[in-house]
Structure 1
Amino acid sequence: MSGMIADTITLTAPFAGWLAPLDAVPDAVFAERMMGEGFAIDPTEGVLRAPAAGEVLSVPESAHAVTLRLDNGAELLLHIGLDTVALGGEGFDAKVFAGQRVAAGDVLIAFDLDAVAVSAKALITPVVVANDGYVLRIEQPGRLVDAGAPVAVVHRTPAKAGAQPHQVRESGAAVESTSELGPGLRGGTEERAERTVAVSAVHGIHARPAARIAATLRPFVAEVTLATAEDSANARSSVALLGLGVGTGSTVRIVGVGPDARAAVDAVAELILSGLGEAASAPALPVVRTHGPVTASPGLAIGQALQLRAADQAVPDQGGGIADERVALDTALSVVAGGLAGTRGPAAEIAEAHRALLDDPELRRVAGEGIAAGHSAAFAWRSATVRAAEAIRATGDALLIERIADLKDLERQVIAALLGTSGPDIPALRPHTILIAEDLLPSQFLSLDTANLAGICTAAGGPTSHVAILAASAGIPMLVAAGDGVLAIGDGTPLILDADAAILAVEPSPEALAEASERLSVTRERRAREAAAAHEPCRMADGTRIEIFANLGSVADAAAAIAAGAEGCGLLRTEFLFLDRDTAPDEEEQRETYSRIAATLGDRPLIVRTLDIGGDKPVPYLPMAGEDNPALGLRGVRLSLARPDLMRLQLGAILRGVPAGQCRIMLPMVADLGDYRPVRALLDEVRGELDIADRVQLGVMIETPAAAMLAGQIAREADFLSIGTNDLTQYTLAADRGNAAVSQRIDAMHPAVLRLVREVGKGAKDAGRWAGMCGGLASDPLAAPILIGLGITELSATPAAIPGLKAVVRTLDMQTCAALAEKACDAASAAEVRTLAREALA
C-alpha cells in the first residue's frame, strides 16, 4: 500500500490455498453477506497471517478467529473454518493479543490443519469487512494462491473518507447472525438459560419437527442442546435430535449458552409447546402388522407387478487427498441442495427436511472424520448416513425409523453427484404398472412415469413416510409394510392393489378382477364426465357465470390447460424465461414465446404477469444487495420500477406477441396506486410507439394486505384485480412460507385472509371491475363456494384441477355461497372454515 493512499489497502492471502468468493462458503451467514463483503480461502497450511498492517481488536478464547482494524479503519474478521468455535480452542494457538500492532504477513494464529479438518464443518475461511462504509473487491477468484499474494483491495467509500477509525462495536451486523464467533468477538458476557418442557406433538420429534427446531435457531448465536434423562443432542442437528427418540409426552430440557441464550431457549420452548408445527391431533395411524400391508395412500389399482431393485453404486474407499475430497463433498452437497430449491406443492416441506439433513452438523462432522482418515468423500458420506440410520433404528420408534428412507435418499443423491452419475437406474414403466420395492425413496418416486404407474407396494416403509405423502398427493394408491414376501412376486404377475382395504391380491380370481374393474369403472366414468363437461363454459346452478382459467408457466402448460378445459390463462408466470440462465432474454425471444402461448390458447384471454423476480427468485445477471427479509424487499413491480429498461422491453415483447384483444397484463406485488400509475403511463407510451390503437387492459395482482384494503381505490383505475393467495397469506399471518419453523401456520382458508378477499370482491364490484384469484387456493374445490360467495368471479387453477373444479361450481348457487362465505369470515380458525365447507359440499 502506498503511504499516500490511506483510504485504499491491498489485502494479501493470509495463507496458501484456494481463493473463492463468499458464495462458495457453505454457511448462509457468510454466503449471503449477513456479516459483510469479503472473500474466502480453503487453506492448505495451518498458519493464519495478517493480510495487512493494523491493530488486533479481539481474539476469542477459542482462538479460532481474529478481528483486525486496518489503517483505513476497516474492521476485518478472519474466521478459520466453520463451526470451529465448538472446538473450544482445541487445535488452535493464538500468537497475538488484543491491542497488539501487526504488520502484513505477521503470524496471527497457528492451528493443526488435520485435527481441525476432522471436527469442523469445513476449513474454508471467510475474510470479511465487518463494519459499514467500506468496499472490498476480490481479485480473480477461483485460483490457487500463495501466502502473501495480493487477493483483494478494501477502500473507504467517499462518505467514510477522512473519518477517524472507530472502536469495535459491542454488537452489530458483523456478528449478530452467526453462531460461531464465540464470546471474545461479541463483546458481551456469556449467558446460560434452561427450560424443561413436555413434547405434545402427536408424533414427537421426527424429521419435520427436528428441521423446524434447527430453523428456529438460525437467527440466534447461542449454542443450544436438547436433553432427555438418558442423552442430549445439538439442537441445530436434525440427525442428532432424531437419535434422541423423543416421543409424544416426553419431557426435554433445553439448555442454551451464549449472549442470546434466553431468547434462543424461549424460542425453542415455545415451538415445542405449540406442537412443533404438527397437527394438534391426528387420525389414528393404522397398526403396522407383520402379516399384512398398511394403507399409505388410498385407492384401487389393477395391473402387473414390476420389481424395483435399485442397487447402491460402488464407491472408492481411498480418497484423492483430504482437501480435494472435502471440496468435492461440499460441492456435491450444494448441488443436491440446489436441486431442492424452489420445490413447490406437497414436496416443498419434504425438500425443507432434506435440506436440513444436508446441512446437518452431525452428518457433516462424521463425514469429515472419514475424509480426514483418508477415505473418499463418497465413502465417508455413506458411512455417516449409515451411522445416523443405525442410531435412529436403535430407538425402536417405528415413526422415526420411517425417516431412515430420507437419509438413504440423500446418501444416494450425494454419491451420484460425487460420481457424476444419474444414480441408480429407474426402470421404464409399462401401462398399469404396480411397482413393488423393499422401500421407495422420495427422489425415486419423483423420477417415475406416473402416467403408467397404477399403484405401489413396499415390503418396508410406513404410512407417514415422505414417499407416502407424495403418492397420496399424486393420487397413486400405495401399500407399505407388506413384508418381504412381496419381493418374491415375479414381474408381470397380475395384481389387485386395494389400498382402501389394505389388500394386495396376487393372481386374483376372475370374479375378483370383475368386481375391482367395476369399481374402477365407476370412478373413471365420473372423471370422464367431468373431463367432457370441462370444455363447456362454467355456470353455477342458478346460471351465474364463473370463469375457470389456468395458471401457466410454459408453452406446454398452455396445451395441457386447453386439453383440460381452461377458458383462458389467469396467470402466465413470465419469470420462467428469466430463471436458470446467465443473461436476460432479449425482446425477440420473449415476443416469440408469448406469441406461441397466445396461439395455443386460440382466442381465449391471456393474462401475462410482468416479471416477478427478487425475493426467493434471484437471477445472477441482476445483482441485488443482500436483504434481511427478501420477501419484503425489492421484488415484483418494485424491481420493475427500479429497472424501467427491463419493464419497457418486456411490455414491448408482450404487446408485439399477444393480440390486443386477447392481451391482459398484470402487475405483481402492488401496494397502492403509486405502484400502478407509472406502469400504466409506460404501457400507453410503448403502445403508442408500436402504433397499437386498442387500449390494453392492465390489472393488479393483490398479494399485499395494503392492496387488499385499498382494493376499491385501486379498482377505480386498474382494469381488473386478481388475488395471489400464497403471498397474501404469508403477509397476513406473518408466517414465512419458506421457513419450516412457521410454514405450517400458513392456510389461505384462515378467516383473516378470507376477510381480505371479501374486501377485494366488494371493492371490485363497487368499481364495476371483476375480481379473480390465481393463487393456490383457487385450485381447491373445497374453497370454491366460499370464494364465489366473497365476490370472486374468475378462478385460475392448475390444469389438472380444472375438470373437478368446474364440476363442483356447477352444483352451487349464489345465495348459498354468500351465506357460507359470511360464516367462514366469522369463523375462529382455518380448520373451522374447512369443516363448514365440507359440510356445505356434502
Structure 2
Amino acid sequence: MSITILSPLAGWATPLGEVPDAVFAEKMLGDGIAIDPVEGRLVAPGDGVVMSVHPAGHAVTVQLDAGPVLLLHIGLDTVGLGGVGFTPHVADGQRIAAGELLMEFDLDRLARTAKSLVTPVVLTNGEAFAVMPPVGGRPVAIGATLFEVQATGVAPATAVQAVTASRALLLPLAQGLHARPAARVAALAGARPGTFEIVAPDGRVAPARSAVAMLALALPHGAAITVRGSDAAGVDAIADLLAGGMGEFRPIAAAPEAGVARAMPSSLAGIVAVPGIAIGSAFRVSMAELVVPEHGAGAEKERAALTAAKDRVRAALRAETAGEGPQAGIAGAHLAFLDDPELEAVSRAAIAAGASAGAAWRQAIAGHAEILRGSGDRRFAERADDLIDLERSVLAALYGAPELPQPPAGAILIADELLPSQLMALSGAGLAGIATGKGGPTSHVAIIAAGLGLPTLVSLGADLESITDGTMLVIAEGRLLIAPDAASIERLRAAAAVSAARRKAAVARARETAVTVDGTRIEVFANLGSAADATTAVAEGAEGCGLLRTEFVFLDRADAPDEEEQRIAYQAVADALGKRPLIVRTLDIGADKPAPYLPMATEENPALGLRGVRLQLATPGLLDTQLRALLGVRAQAPLRIMLPMVADRSELLAAKAALDRLAAAMGVAAPELGIMIETPAAALSARLLAADASFFSIGSNDLAQYTLARDRTNAAVAAGLDGLHPAILRLIAETVQGGGAHGRWTGVCGGLAAEPAAIPILIGLGVTELSVPAAAIAETKALVRTLGLAACRTLAAAALDAPDAAAVRALVEPLLEQAA
C-alpha cells in the first residue's frame, strides 16, 4: 500500500540530484524531491505532528500519521539568515492537518540573500519507507500529489548498546548544528560500529545516526554538548568532526579550563520566590541521567510498556490529589499533562516509527516543553518544568531511577534547576531554604516551597554552580550570602529571631482590622489563585480578595474551560471567602503561543504584545464565556471584576459594553468593573479612565518593569527593579488623584503592597486597600496599626521629590525603626 505525500509548496518540482548542495543531491539526509517555490507559503504535506521547527525558521520536520518523517528545508544556506524572512505558524509537538499553514516566508528577501530558493522535501526514515521514483521537471500546486512512499516492512534495529565512552566539547559551527553538518555526522555515525548520541546542554538526547533528531536539538554556536556511545574510537571520530567545524568553524570565547573550579563569589542576587531568612550549609541536588534506549522492541510491546508506566504514575498522582496543600493541586496539573491527547499522539507516532517507549515519551514531552519555554510568558515557561518532571516520572516507571540522597537537617538546598517531585521527596528532610540557578517565582517548586515555609531564591544564575557542598550560606533580602563571616551570621540569626517574634505577635491579632493610630481604615485583602488559597487566606486574617488570578482555571490543560467549569471554580472561591469581598481579574496570559487553544503568532517582544485585555478583546468568545461564568456566581459579598493591562479608554469601554450586554441577557445586575493600573499610560490617564472604571488596583510589579524598562524575570537586571523608585511613586500618586476626582478608590495588589518600606508611603499617597500574599496579611496589618496618616503623608511628599529609590528607602527607615 502506498502513502501519498502532498506538495507543501507551489512551484516547480526538481529531482533531488539536481539540487546544488551535496548533502541533498547525494541523499545524505534521505530521498525525495525538491521544489523551486513561486509563493511564500509552506503547508503540511499530510496529517501528522510537527517534530521540530528550527529556531532559524528555515526547516520544519513533520511526522505523518502513516509513519513517514519528512524534512522540509526552505532554500539552501538559509540557516544563516537567523530567522529573518520566516514566520512560523506552528510549533514543536503541534498536530497538523494536510494543507495547514506551517510557515510563511518572504520570497523576495530570500531570493536576494539565499544561495537558492530550491526547497528539498526529504523522507528521512528511509529504513522504514521507500520513495517511489518521483517525477521532476514539472509544475506542482499546493496539495497536489508530490510523490508516494511504501512501507519497507523492515523494522529499525532494536539493539541498544551501553554507553562506554563520552567526550564533551563546545560546538564551533558558525550556524550551529543545522542540516548539512548533521547529515555528515549521521553518515559518519552510520559507518561506525556501535551506537552514538549527541547530548544537548539541557539533557535532551538525539541519536547521532539521525540527522533529523539532531536538528530538533537546535544546537547553536558555542553550545556545550557531549558525544557519547558504545565505541570510544567512534565517539572520538564524531567529536573530531564536530570540533573541526566542517568548513563552518567559528572560534568560541575562552571558557574556564576543565577541572578548574570557578571561584565562589561572596554573594549572588536573585529573585525572591518565598521571603524570609535562612541560614545553613549548602547541599547540592542534581538530576541523575536516566538511560533510555533509542529503539523499541516492537510497536505493540512498547505501547504496552508506556501505557503500564503511565498507569503507575497516574495512580501515584491520584493518591497525591487526595491530600491537601499545594502538592495536591500540582499533582492534578500533572495528571492533566499525563492524559493530554497531543502527548499521546506524538508518542504513539514515534513508537510506530520504531522508537522505544521512553524515547517516544521524551520526544513528545520535548516538543511541548519547547512550546512553553518559548511562549514569552513566564508562567507558561515555568510549566515546562512540570512537563520535564512528568517525563522523568514516566521514565522512572519504565526503567527505574536512583533514590535522591537525603540532605542533613538545616541545609540549604542548591540546584541549577529543581523539579517539584524532587522537592516533595525532600520535604521531610528539615531543609532551611532553597536556592536555584534557574526557575521563577511562580513555578510549582516555588509554590511547594511556600507551603513548606522555606525561604527561596531563584534565578541566581550560573555562578551558583561554583558553590561547594558544605559551604555556609545565608538567604536574606533577595541575596544569597556565600561563606559569610561569623559576625554576619550572628547578626542575621538575631534578625531572624526578632522577625519570628514579630510575626508571632502579628498572627495573634491577624483577625483584627487594620486601622492607623489616628483612625484611618486600611483594608488588607489577599491575592489568590484558587479556592484552597482562599481558605488559607481567611485563616490568616484576610478581609477579602483583592486579586483572584483566574489563570488557575486556564493553565495546564489542552483546551479552554467552558462556562460551567469556570463558574464552579469561581463559586468555590466565593464560598471560601464567605461574606468577604471578591475582586476577580479576568484572564491575564501572555503572548506567542501560551496555550494550545489560543494559537498566536510568535512575537519578538511578548511583554509588549497581545496580552491581558488586548488578548481578551481579540478573542471575544473567550472573554464572553468568562464574563458569563462570573455573572453566574452567587456571592455573599460584593463581587467585582477587574481588567488587566489596560492602556487605553477604548479597551475599558469595549469590555464594559460586553459585560453590560451579557448581564442584560442573563437578567442580572452588572458588577462593578475596575482596572489594573500596570502601564504608565493607564496611570497618566487615570482621571479620564475613572469616568468609566469603578475602582483602580495598581499592579506594581508590571508598572515598575514597564516604567523602568527592566524585565522582572531577568536576574541580570531585576536587582535594579525597585518599586520605590520616585518615578513609580509619582505614577501611583497620579492614579490616586485621578481616581479621587471621580470618587474612585485605589488599591495596590502588586508586590509593593506587602513591602514594609512601601506601606507608609502608599497610605500617605491615598491608597486605601492593600492586597498581599496570605502569609503577609498579619504583619501588614500590624504595621498599619503603628502608622499615623499625617506622618505618612509627609513621608510620601518627601519620597516624590527623592532622587532615587535608595533615597526613598533612607527616608522610610526611621519610621520603620520606630514602628518596630
- Take 1:49 and 1:521, find their aligned partners in 2: how far apart are those partners? 62
Deviation of 1:815 (Å): 2.2
Say which is worse superposed, 536-545 or 9-18, in terms of deviation. 9-18
Quick one: which of 27, 52, 58 aligns to 1:25? Answer: 52
Deviation of 1:779 (Å): 2.3
Alpha carbons of structure 1 residues 50 and 316: separation in structure 2 relative to 1, 3 Å? closer
Letter aligned with residue 749 of structure 2: C
Deviation of 1:732 (Å): 1.4
Q: Which residue of 2 aligns with 1:530?
A: 506
Structure 1 counterpart SS, 2:514:
coil
Deviation of 1:831 (Å): 3.6
Deviation of 1:545 (Å): 0.9
1:639 lines up with 2:615 in the alignment: yes
Quick one: which of 662, 683, 686 aligns to 2:662? Answer: 686
Number of equivalenced pairs:
575
Deviation of 1:657 (Å): 0.6
Q: Which residue of 2 aligns with 1:808?
A: 783
- Take 1:709 and 1:64, find their aligned partners in 2: how far apart are those partners? 39
Deviation of 1:333 (Å): 5.2
Q: Which residue of 1 aligns with 2:638?
A: 662
Structure 2 counterpart SS, 1:812:
coil
Unaligned runs of 5+ in 1: 69-73, 79-96, 115-134, 149-176, 184-206, 208-220, 250-280, 286-295, 359-409, 485-498, 504-516
Letter aligned with residue 730 of structure 2: R
CA contact (8 A) 1:413 1:423 kept: no
Quick one: which of 802, 811, 815 aligns to 1:840? Answer: 815
Alpha carbons of structure 1 residues 635 and 477: separation in structure 2 relative to 1, 3 Å? closer
Letter aligned with residue 675 of structure 1: E
Deviation of 1:800 (Å): 0.9
Deviation digits for residues 560-616 of structure 1 (CA, Å, limit 9, x no counterpart): 110111111011111211222222222222222222211111111100111223427
Q: After superposition, where does 1:733-812 map in structure 2 within 5 Å?
A: 733-739=708-714, 742-812=717-787
- Take 2:15 and 2:812, find their aligned partners in 1: how far apart are those partners? 65
Deviation of 1:796 (Å): 0.7
Deviation of 1:825 (Å): 2.9
Alpha carbons of structure 1 residues 811 and 323: separation in structure 2 relative to 1, 3 Å? farther
CA contact (8 A) 2:540 2:777 kept: yes
- Take 2:115 and 2:438, find their aligned partners in 1: how far apart are those partners? 52
Alpha carbons of structure 1 residues 300 and 623: separation in structure 2 relative to 1, 3 Å? closer
1:590 lines up with 2:617 in the alignment: no
Structure 2 counterpart SS, 1:792:
coil
Deviation digits for residues 487-534 of structure 1 (CA, Å, limit 9, x no counterpart): xxxxxxxxxxxx99979xxxxxxxxxxxxx999998665433211211
Q: After superposition, where does 1:711-730 map in structure 2 within 5 Å?
A: 711-730=686-705
Alpha carbons of structure 1 residues 658 and 327: separation in structure 2 relative to 1, 3 Å? same
Letter aligned with residue 645 of structure 1: G
Q: Which residue of 2 aligns with 1:697?
A: 672
Quick one: which of 606, 615, 624 aligns to 1:648? Answer: 624
Alpha carbons of structure 1 residues 61 and 708: separation in structure 2 relative to 1, 3 Å? closer
1:574 lines up with 2:601 in the alignment: no
- Take 1:98 and 1:616, find their aligned partners in 2: how far apart are those partners? 30
Letter aligned with residue 719 of structure 1: S
- Take 2:267 and 2:286, find their aligned partners in 1: how far apart are those partners? 33
- Take 1:62 and 1:802, find their aligned partners in 2: how far apart are those partners? 54
Alpha carbons of structure 1 residues 518 and 633: separation in structure 2 relative to 1, 3 Å? closer
CA contact (8 A) 2:376 2:606 kept: no
Deviation of 1:747 (Å): 2.9
Q: After superposition, where does 1:175-254 map in structure 2 within 5 Å?
A: none
Alpha carbons of structure 1 residues 308 and 739: separation in structure 2 relative to 1, 3 Å? closer
Q: Which residue of 2 aligns with 1:603?
A: 579
Deviation digits for residues 637-690 of structure 1 (CA, Å, limit 9, x no counterpart): 222222333322222211211348511111111112211112222222222222
Alpha carbons of structure 1 residues 540 and 688: separation in structure 2 relative to 1, 3 Å? same
1:830 lines up with 2:805 in the alignment: yes
Deviation of 1:730 (Å): 2.1
- Take 2:761 and 2:732, find their aligned partners in 1: how far apart are those partners? 10
Q: After superposition, where does 1:424-463 map in structure 2 within 5 Å?
A: 424-425=402-403, 434=409, 442-443=418-419, 447-448=423-424, 454-456=430-432
Letter aligned with residue 52 of structure 2: V
- Take 2:706 and 2:800, find their aligned partners in 1: how far apart are those partners? 18
Deviation of 1:559 (Å): 0.3
Letter aligned with residue 25 of structure 1: S
Deviation of 1:617 (Å): 7.3
Quick one: which of 602, 609, 634 aligns to 1:626? Answer: 602
Letter aligned with residue 622 of structure 1: L
Alpha carbons of structure 1 residues 739 and 314: separation in structure 2 relative to 1, 3 Å? closer
Letter aligned with residue 757 of structure 2: L
Letter aligned with residue 615 of structure 1: A
- Take 1:534 and 1:799, find their aligned partners in 2: how far apart are those partners? 11
- Take 1:689 and 1:615, find their aligned partners in 2: how far apart are those partners? 31
Alpha carbons of structure 1 residues 834 and 764: separation in structure 2 relative to 1, 3 Å? same
Deviation digits for residues 437-481 of structure 1 (CA, Å, limit 9, x no counterpart): 997774479624898665449xxxx999789x9899876489x97
Structure 1 counterpart SS, 2:632:
helix
CA contact (8 A) 1:547 1:793 kept: yes
Alpha carbons of structure 1 residues 342 and 563: separation in structure 2 relative to 1, 3 Å? farther
Letter aligned with residue 682 of structure 2: A
Alpha carbons of structure 1 residues 25 and 564: separation in structure 2 relative to 1, 3 Å? same
CA contact (8 A) 1:426 1:447 kept: no
- Take 1:338 and 1:563, find their aligned partners in 2: how far apart are those partners? 38
CA contact (8 A) 1:13 1:145 kept: no
TM-score, structure 2 as length reference? 0.55
Structure 1 counterpart SS, 2:569:
helix
Alpha carbons of structure 1 residues 757 and 324: separation in structure 2 relative to 1, 3 Å? same
Deviation of 1:746 (Å): 3.0
CA contact (8 A) 2:726 2:808 kept: yes
Say which is worse superposed, 469-478 or 626-635, in terms of deviation. 469-478
- Take 2:754 and 2:377, find their aligned partners in 1: how far apart are those partners? 14
Deviation of 1:706 (Å): 0.7
Alpha carbons of structure 1 residues 64 and 481: separation in structure 2 relative to 1, 3 Å? closer
Q: Which residue of 1 aligns with 2:529?
A: 553
CA contact (8 A) 1:723 1:774 kept: yes
- Take 1:75 and 1:583, find their aligned partners in 2: how far apart are those partners? 21
- Take 1:310 and 1:58, find their aligned partners in 2: how far apart are those partners? 41
Alpha carbons of structure 1 residues 311 and 818: separation in structure 2 relative to 1, 3 Å? closer
Deviation of 1:700 (Å): 0.8
- Take 1:7 and 1:314, find their aligned partners in 2: how far apart are those partners? 41
- Take 1:561 and 1:13, find their aligned partners in 2: how far apart are those partners? 68
Deviation of 1:749 (Å): 2.6
Deviation digits for residues 726-761 of structure 1 (CA, Å, limit 9, x no counterpart): 222222122334455544443323222222111112
Share of identical aligned residues, percent?
Answer: 37
Q: Which residue of 2 aligns with 1:819?
A: 794
Structure 1 counterpart SS, 2:521:
coil
CA contact (8 A) 2:593 2:602 kept: no
Deviation of 1:284 (Å): 11
Deviation of 1:23 (Å): 5.5
- Take 1:343 and 1:57, find their aligned partners in 2: how far apart are those partners? 28
Structure 2 counterpart SS, 1:434:
coil
Q: After superposition, where does 1:488-499 map in structure 2 within 5 Å?
A: none
Q: Which residue of 1 aligns with 2:648?
A: 672
CA contact (8 A) 1:308 1:436 kept: no
